[in-house]
Amino acid sequence: MQVQTVAFFSGNIGSGEFVLLFALILVLFGPRRLPSLAREIGVFLAKLQRTAQDFRDQIMNLDSHHKVPPISPPASSSSEEESKSSPENHQRAG
């Protein structure tokens, strides 16, 4: 089964699609609002890039900031083992 994709949604935007998008945006928002809209989009994309870079930096530096101590086996106390196996405890329970 062959899947056909529409050229506009294939991920490659050519000059024809770009002109169509620009005309659609111009009609929707108007020529007065277009510069402020472009500025808002630019500010948003800059913040998004900064946030993504900060996230990448945090992931890359995760090992250097958080040293996990090696896991040591738990110390078993002999008094706990004695209290579990003592006959006095069995008599109290019964």
Residue 18: per-residue pLDDT: 86
- What are 35-54's pLDDT values in tens digits? 999 999 999 999 999 999 99
Percent of the chain clearing pLDDT 70 (strictly above): 62
In whole angstroms, how far apart are CA 54 and each of 40, 64, 67, 86, 93?
Answer: 21, 15, 20, 59, 60
pTM for the full model? 0.47
CA 32 to CA 19: how far, in whole Å? 19
- Chain-wide mean pLDDT for the chain? 77
Mean pLDDT of 75-90: 58
Residue 12: per-residue pLDDT: 77
Are 8 and 17 in contact, with CB atoms under 8 Å apart? yes
Backbone angles phi, psi at 10, to 5 degrees: -80, -10
- Which is nearest to 38 in space by CA: 51, 26, 48, 50? 26
Residue 27: per-residue pLDDT: 92
Confidence of residue 60 (pLDDT cuts 50, 70, 90): confident
Backbone angles phi, psi at 28, to 5 degrees: -70, -45
Token pair 């928002």 is at which residue? 29
- pLDDT at residue 24 is higher than 70: yes
